[in-house]
Amino acid sequence: MSVLVTGGTGYIGSHTCVELLNSGEDIVIIDNLYNSKTEVLERIKKITGKDITFYNADVRDKAALTEIFNKHNIDSVIHFAGLKAVGESVEKPMLYYDNNLISTINLCEVMKEHGCKNLVFSSSATVYGNAEKMPLYEDMPLGAINPYGKTKWFIEEILRDEAKTGNWSVVLLRYFNPIGAHESGLIGEDPNGIPNNLMPYISQVAVGRLKELSVFGNDYPTKDGTGVRDYIHVVDLSKGHVKAVEYAREHTGCEAINLGTGTGTSVLELKDAFEKASGKKIPFKIVGRRAGDPPTVYANADKAKKLLNWQAEYDINKMCEDTWRWQSKNPKGY
Ligand code: NAD
Ligand code: WQD
C-alpha cells in the first residue's frame, strides 16, 4: 500500500515525504519539476535512508497518472501539486485555472477508476477571503480575492460536491503561513527568483543574496503597525498530513481543517526573531502596503486537535533557527 504524493519535490511536499517515510509509509511521488528539482530526492533519501519512487510527469496527464495507479497499490493521495504565486495568478489567471483545477479533476477521475478514495488536499487560509473577524474557524464563509485563491476555493467546492456521492474520504487542509525547514538543513524552501513571501526574503537578505527587506506598511491596526500572520513550522505542517492520511483511511466524507498555530506574529517580530536566530542584522525599510494584504490572519486550530489529534509544537524561534540552518548551508538553494 502506497501514498501518492503529487508535488512531492516541492517545499511542503518534500518535508511531508520525510515524515511519511519516517512513519513507515511507502510513497510514490509525481512532480513535473516546474517549481522544484530532482536534487530534493537525494536529500530526502539522505535524511530517511529510504528509497523513493519518482515520476517526472504532469498531474494533468491522465495517461501518466493511470500508468502510475496501474503499477502501484495506491490507497491514499496527498495532492500538493499546484501553482501558488498570488501575483502571477493575477497576470496569468488561465494558467492557474488550467494547472490547479484540471490536475485535481484528472486526479479524482483516475483515483475513482482505481477505487482509491482517500484524498488529502492542500488548501489555504486564502479561502477565507477578506474575513474581518479573527481567529478563522473552518465553518466561516468562503471567498477569494485573487485567481490563486479562487482555484483553492473552487477545488474545495468541487471536492465537497464529489464527496457527497458517498464514495470519498477527503481532507481539505487549510494551511496558514508555512515557514522553516527540516532541522538537518538538507531540505527547505528554494523559491525561483526574488521571493514573494516574507520568510524566504528575510533569509536571503541574511545570507547576502538580497540587500534589504521592504516592510509592506507599518500603519495597520496591529501591535506594531505591521502585518500579523500565523506562521507554522513546515515540519509541524507535514506531521499534520500524516495524521490526515490516517484520518482519511478511517472515515468517509469531506472535512476542512485549519493547520495553523493559533498565534499571530508581526513582520517586525519575525525579523527580530530571525536576527536572534542567525546573529545577522536584517536591514529594512518601511514601504507602502502591498495590495490585497489584510492586517491580521490567524487560525483557530481546535478542529485539527479534535479530529486529527494534531497540534503545532514549534515556536517562531525554532522556525527561524531551522530556516537559517537551511539557508546558510545552501546559500544558493538546491
Ligand atoms: P511548491 O511550488 O514548492 O510545490 C508544488 C510542487 O508542485 C512543485 O514541485 C511543482 O513542480 C509541482 N507542480 C505544480 N503543478 C504541477 C502539475 N500540474 N503536475 C505535476 N507537478 C506540478 O509549493 P509548496 O509551497 O510546497 O505548496 C504546495 C501546495 O500547498 C500548493 O498546492 C500550494 O498552493 C499549497 N499552499 C502553499 C502555501 C505556502 O505558503 N507555501 C500555503 C497554502 C497552501
Ligand atoms: C506575510 C506578511 C506582508 C513580503 C501568502 C499567500 C497565501 C499563502 C501564504 C498560499 C504580510 C509582509 C511580505 C515582504 C513584507 N499561500 N511582507 N515584505 O501574504 O500572508 O500569504 O502566502 O496559499 O495565500 O497570500 O504571506 O509571506 O507574502 O506575507 O512586509 O517582502 O509579510 O505584507 O504582512 P501572505 P507573505
Instruction: List Cα–Cα distances, 203 to 141, 160, 217, 234, 266, in angstroms.
Output: 35, 38, 20, 15, 16
Check residue 313 and give its pLDDT: 98
**pLDDT > 70 fraction of the chain, expressed in percent and rounded:** 100
| Residue 310 alpha carbon to ligand 1 centre in Å | 22
Q: How confident is the model at residue 330 (pLDDT cuts 50, 70, 90)?
A: very high
The whole-number average pLDDT for the span 220-226 is 97
Check residue 154 and give its pLDDT: 98
**Could you say which ligand is closest to the alpha carbon of residue 205?**
2
Whether residue 55 lies in the annotated active site:
no
Take residue 106 and report the three cell numbers written for it.
484528472
The whole-number average pLDDT for the span 3-29 is 98
List, for residues 242-299, the tens digit of each pLDDT value.
999 999 999 999 999 999 999 999 999 999 999 999 999 999 999 999 999 999 999 9
Q: Cα separation of 6 and 137, whole Å?
A: 27
What is the SS3 string spanning 135-181? CECCCCCCECCCHHHHHHHHHHHHHHHHHCCCCCEEEEEEECEEECC
List, for residues 79-131, the tens digit of each pLDDT value.
999 999 999 999 999 999 999 999 999 999 999 999 999 999 999 999 999 99
Instruction: List Cα–Cα distances, 241 to 18, 65, 127, 206, 236, in angstroms.
Output: 11, 22, 19, 30, 9
Active-site residue (options: 11, 96, 128, 148): 148
Q: How confident is the model at residue 235 (pLDDT cuts 50, 70, 90)?
A: very high
Check residue 173 and give its pLDDT: 99
Segment (H or E) for 48 = helix 39-48
Quick check: 15 pLDDT over 90? Answer: yes
Check residue 328 and give its pLDDT: 98
| Residue 225 alpha carbon to ligand 1 centre in Å | 31
List, for residues 169-203, the tens digit of each pLDDT value.
999 999 999 999 999 999 999 999 999 999 999 99
174 lines ligand 1 (CB under 6 A): no
Instruction: Choose one of 6, 9, 19, 34 to mutate for the ligand 1 pocket test, by most ligand atoms within 8 angstroms of C-beta.
Output: 34
Q: Cα separation of 125 and 123, whole Å?
A: 7
Quick check: 132 pLDDT over 90? Answer: no
149 lines ligand 1 (CB under 6 A): no
Domains recognised in the chain with CATH numbers: 2-180+232-261+298-312 (3.40.50.720)
**Could you say which ligand is closest to the alpha carbon of residue 215?**
2
